Structure 1
Amino acid sequence: MTDKPLRLGTRRSKLAMAQSGLVADAVREATGRPVELVEITTYGDTSREHLARIGGTGVFVTALRDALLRGDVDFAVHSLKDLPTAQPEGLALAAVPRREDPRDALIARDGLTLERLPRGARIGTGSPRRMAQLNAHARAHGLDIETVPIRGNVDTRINFVRDGELDAVVLAAAGLNRLGRGGEVTAYLASDTVLPAPGQGALAVECPPGPLAEALARLDDPRTRAAVTAERALLATLEAGCSAPVGALADFTGAPQDQAAQRQTTEMRLRGVVGSTDGSELVQLTTTGHVPSTQAEAEALGAELAAEMLAKGAAGLMGERAR
């Protein structure tokens, strides 16, 4: 029985397959069980509409969750930022492995950075969150840019730049790193410029509760889980979905790349932002507290910051979506 392969449900994109392959290797090592990937097509993969128009929330995960509940696969791997904040009955978030780089990254023509792009530069992104913050940054620093809504996989988006249709695109650094394409990044966007999506850079391993969930829990990274739990609680309290112009990042004192320092600190900082997509209005707040030791503590940190943001007018900005 133990030799029977575990069936891992995954989207069919190159990025999803790469991410799922990393988790499959970790599961094989942790459990000694063989793992086979089962490719599943989601609505988000087949629709060509922009995420803000089709709702964003759950479009990349519903088919995977349905396969789990039917028993067609044993567990599934998602990009955590794609997961709706409400956990469905019958499924458990078994593990959140150590997070990759959560930042957004710019791939621009001629190796340019954001500040060095020419006047009138067109920057492609499928995210109202990125649009809001890029446009706000441009307003604050006198940059003349246009944000353009795009869809497509990583190759498609980068080719918009290669073919000269766009001057730059913005993608998640984590996805580029997992695809081995980090060398194409021309500039990383500091979180002070563009806060990432809640959960960006993290993966979610989901399955029904039971012995398998307990085994998969060996992949869990407690600090990553604490951080993304706070970020997702902020998103949930704002009652916003994956396509809303909301950014959030929980991080730890110490240099971002110094894992040892980050794992010794007792402080966690949570930042949140909501903005109109034209960048004319932003509500951005920060709070700092002890590193949460329980899920309830992490959720409370996110909920409290979201409540402050709502008090400052965040709800009115979340109605602003890319058209």
Structure 2
Amino acid sequence: MTLRIGTRGSALAMAQTGDIASAITAATGVDTELVPVTTHGDVSRESLSSLGGTGVFASALREFLLRGECDLVVHSMKDLPTVAYAGLRVGAVPVRADARDTLCARDGLTIETLPSGARVGTGSPRRAAQLAALRPDLQVIDIRGNVGTRLGFVTSGELDAVVLAAAGLGRLGQLDVVTEYLELDVWPTAPAQGALAIEVRTEIYDDRDGNADVLAALEAIEHQETRAAATAERAVLSRLEAGCAAPIGASAVITPERVSLAAAVYAPDGSGTLRLNRQADFATSAVHEIIGTAEAVGSALADDLLAQGAATLAPLRQS
């Protein structure tokens, strides 16, 4: 059997899906085939927020999977809506890459050393708000395009810097362009940034013998700690009814004993920030206990944020 793996056709998506395909073959011996799919988010030049944010990259992949044109699909988990999709489930969450954002600037500049009035590009409302909060003297420019296009704005001199995810640069082998890593304790990133979600049809679990290769592949690449951390972070979004266009950052740490979660909501213009923390101990080491506790902590932290005025600080609800 050859497992057909659906993916967006961008260089980054193909790279990260290729990593998953290689891991599956190495662990199970099953052959794989990458099947590129074009999504609306890939061809549109509109801003991410105007496109609706969450789900703009996922819908075409999901429909492709439901039609049976592939056996599983690979999503960047931060792009995946928190609401369940009928007929599908996340079958595996592989080990997470670096969750941090990075600054990629001319002349080795950092956030601190960028000159007043410097032009910094990002397509993320959350990153734009964080930049405005830390350096209100900067010009934040809304940009779209793949990693190469965004870096090209810097090399051409059109921009002084761009903010990009470390995970994507790492998967493309381009970490040499980073001039500063933005640490999570002061710059929390999008919920589940750096994590991948492997989505499959729910029907495969009704015929385990007939889908043994698919299920073995999912088991081989599952990473419990990453799933728990992503669950906690995404529970914040879910309870806030927010999407990836909302200026929200979250960062979870999972140890054998507990989940620790920090989340922040930013005013879009950087004029205010609400940041809170929560943690909880795991009652047992059972997987369902760990995942359930992580989700509960995320939901409770979202309630704390709402109680302290998050909804008045920033637009949260998905359109």
Q: Quick check: 1:274 aligned with 2:265?
A: yes
Residue 315 (structure 1) aligns with:
311
Indicate whether 1:230 and 2:227 are aligned. Answer: no
1:133-282 to 2 correspondences below 5 Å:
133-139=130-136, 144-209=137-202, 210=204, 211=208, 212=211, 214-215=215-216, 216-252=218-254, 265-282=256-273
The correspondence for 2:86, drawn from 59, 67, 89, is 89
- Please, what TM-score do these two structures have when normalized by structure 1? 0.90
Provide closer, same or farther for how the CA distance between residues 234 and 193 of structure 1 changes in structure 2, counting only shifts above 3 A: same
Contact 1:240–1:318 under 8 Å retained in 2: no
Asked if residue 28 in structure 1 is aligned to residue 28 in structure 2, the reply is no
Task: String of CA shifts for 1:239-298, please: whole Å, max 9, x gaps.
Answer: 00111111111024xxxxxxxxxx5x5233201111111100111111122258332211
Within-5 A mapping of 1:15-164: 15-139=12-136, 144-164=137-157
Matched, 1:302 2:298: yes
- Could you state the TM-score of these two structures normalised by the residue count of structure 2? 0.91
What amino acid does structure 1 have at the position aligned with 2:52? Answer: G
Q: 1:284 corresponds to which residue?
A: 275
| Separation (CA, whole Å) in 2 of partners of 1:320 and 1:77 | 26
Letter in 1 for 2:235: A
Q: Which 4+ runs in 1 deviate beyond 4 A?
A: none
CA–CA distance in structure 1, aligned partners of residues 46 and 264 of structure 2: 25
In the alignment, the residues of structure 1 paired with residue 180 and residue 164 of structure 2 have an alpha-carbon distance, to the nearest angstrom, of 11
CA distance in structure 2 between the aligned counterparts of 1:208 and 1:127, rounded to whole angstroms? 30
1:294 alignment partner, SS class: helix
Secondary structure of 1:192 counterpart: coil
CA offset digits 1:83-121 (Å, max 9, x no partner):
000121211101111100000000000011110111111
Unaligned 5+ segments in structure 2 are 284-288
Alpha-carbon distance between aligned partners in 2 of 1:118 and 1:238, rounded to the nearest angstrom: 36
Q: 1:124 to 1:103 in 2, by over 3 A?
A: same
- Structure 1 unmatched ranges of 5 or more: 253-262
User: Aligned partners of 1:191, 1:27: CA distance in 2, in Å?
Assistant: 30
The residue number in structure 2 matching 1:258 is none
- The amino acid of 1:279's aligned partner reads G
1:10 has 2:7 as partner: yes
Contact 1:134 1:193 in 2 (8 A): no
Percent identity reads 54
Q: Write the letter of the residue equivalent to 1:302.
A: G
The answer to whether the 8 A contact 2:236-2:301 is kept is yes
The alpha carbon displacement at 1:311 in A equals: 0.7
SS in 2 for 1:191: coil
Separation of aligned partners in 2, 1:267 and 1:152:
39
Q: 1:312 to 1:69 in 2, by over 3 A?
A: same
Per-residue deviation at 1:191? Answer: 1.4
Counterpart CA distance in 1 for 2:100 and 2:80 is: 18
